[in-house]
Structure formats: C-alpha cells, structure tokens
Structure 1
Amino acid sequence: MNNAKDTVRQFLLQVRSGLHPERAGHFMADLVRAHQVASEAPEVVERTPRQYTEHVQEMLDAYGPFTLTVDELIAEGDRVYARWTQDGRHVGPVGGHAPTGARITTMTSAVYRVEDGLIVEYWIQIDRQGTAAQLRRAATGD
C-alpha cells in the first residue's frame, strides 16, 4: 500500500466486506486500538488481525454474505474517514433476535489511523438503533 487512503479502501473492500477476512493481517498492525464510539457505553478494545477476522466471521454468520458499499472516503495525513452501508439478510441470531431472513441495512462510519501502511487505531460509530429497529420490525412482521 502506498498511502493511508489506499490501505483503508483495500481493508474495507477485502476484509471488512467479508470477502477475504483472513487478509486482515495485510492491513492491520499486530495490535489495533478500536474505539467503540457509542453514547451509551464508549469503550476501547484491542484487536489482533486474527480477532478481527473472527469478528467479520460473526457478521457473516449473522447477516450472510452481505454487500458493503463505501459511500465516502476522505484522507488527511495519517487519518482516513470512511462511511459505508452494509446490506445483508438476518440469517443468524443478533442481539437476542432469532433469524428472520429479513434484509438488514447498517450504516457505519469510522476514522482510521494508519502508520507505515497498516491500520493501528480506529474510532467507529454504528447506527445500532437503526439496526435494532429493523430487527424488531422483522421479528414482529410490521
């Protein structure tokens, strides 16, 4: 990878998309600080590429082979802002909701910090309320 924006773009398209989660080590440092930006319970977790691969597999188990569309990618220095939309089917348990087969769309944004061509830190925000509302609607048939 020759710059931060290319690193993040390829990470999203290859790894986060679920197409090749096993390639996480090509784009991530050995240990990445992941800031889970949530008003109700912000936290920082540390993830290895292997743990990130497992995380993506959990999403595949829950939503099947989903599509990920990169809606925006803006870079400045070592930081890259990314916004994407993920579309999948509710095929596995999610947050206490049994699978419904319903289409679920999740909107997410993150800022990645890249050093020496590898992601070393990121701050991620996911529209959890929107996802929860879709799961509730699917469960009740509304």
Structure 2
Amino acid sequence: MTSAKEVVHQFLLQVRSGLHPDRADRYMADRVRAHQVVSEAPVVMERTPQQYAEHVQEMLDAYGAFTLSVDELLADGDRVYARWIQVGQHIGAIDQYPPTGTQITAVTSAVYRVVDGLIVEYWIQIDRQGITTQLERAAAEH
C-alpha cells in the first residue's frame, strides 16, 4: 500500500498543482472534511473529489497555469503536513479585484489525514493577508 506521505505528495503534484484536477478521485475519499483554518471565520465543509476538481479549476481561472512547489512534507502515522508556494498570474477576478496580470504568490500549509490510501480530511491555512496585499498593490499600479 502507498504511504500517507506519498498519497499527499502525489495529490499535491497531480491535482492541487492544477495539472490534473480530474484525478482528484485517485487521492480523495468520496467525502472529505475540509477545515478552512481562517482565524476570523473558520469553516468546515465536505468536499467530493469532483467539487475539489472544480475548486482547482477556479484557481486556474483566477491565476492561470500556476506553479506549485512543495517546500515541506512531514508524515506522522495517518497525518501528513505539507507547506507549499503557489505562483501564478492574476488573470481572473479575485474577490473585488479585476485582473491585472501581476504575479501573485501564495504561501499555504495543510495537514492531511489519510485512511486506506485516500485523503479523508484536511486542515488548510493560506496566507490570505499576503494575497490581499499583493492584489491591493497591483490594483494601485493599474
């Protein structure tokens, strides 16, 4: 059986990277608990692999064919911690910001729980303030 660490690594490289969002069902259970760790308004939702693929497509629509580089990947039993940097171009509307073509960098980390070779739950943190600062700067320059 594939290790939890390898499942998450391949998920990030194949699906989350935007290369093959349609492969989400290879790495995710039918229903995944997604904890959006946002200090001002934490949210827990269920996502299907199809919904996750649609979420990745939304990122592609906003950032174009972005790059994703995994900086850290640590495993402890069924939990895998990942930290990555995503770099794309602001080609689609993001929140109230119209496209500027500016490069946008997002620093993200997540902990994934893997059971029987599939992701069943995750807790994700995105540097939202850093993204907002970049969007504000780009809007002021255009």
After superposition, the CA RMSD in angstroms is 0.9
Q: Match of 1:102?
A: 102
SS in structure 2 opposite 1:10?
A: helix
Q: Give 2:44's aligned residue.
A: 44
Unmatched tracts of structure 1, length 5 or more:
none
State the match for 1:75 in structure 2: 75
**Between Structure 1 and Structure 2, how many residues are aligned?**
142
The amino acid that maps onto 2:31 is L
Distance 2:92 2:110 in 1: 25
Runs of 5+ unmatched residues, structure 2: none
C-alpha displacement of 1:110: 0.1
User: Match for residue 5 of structure 1?
Assistant: 5
The code of the aligned residue for 2:126 comes to I
Q: Per-residue CA shift, 1:38-95, capped at 9, x if unaligned?
A: 1000010100000000000000000000000000000000000000000000000001
Q: Write the mapping of 1:6-45 to structure 2, written as runs, cut at 5 A.
A: 6-45=6-45
Residue 61 of structure 1 corresponds to: 61
In structure 2, C-alpha distance between the alignment counterparts of 1:137 and 1:61, rounded to whole Å:
21
Identity across the alignment (%): 71
CA distance in 2, matches of 1:72, 1:58: 25
Shift of 1:2: 1.0
Please report the TM-score for the alignment, with normalisation by the length of structure 2.
0.99
In the alignment, residue 46 of structure 1 is paired with which amino acid? Answer: E
TM-score (norm 1): 0.99
- The aligned residue for residue 87 of structure 1 is 87
CA–CA distance in structure 2, aligned partners of residues 62 and 35 of structure 1: 22
Q: Give 4+ residue runs of structure 1 displaced > 4 Å after superposition.
A: none
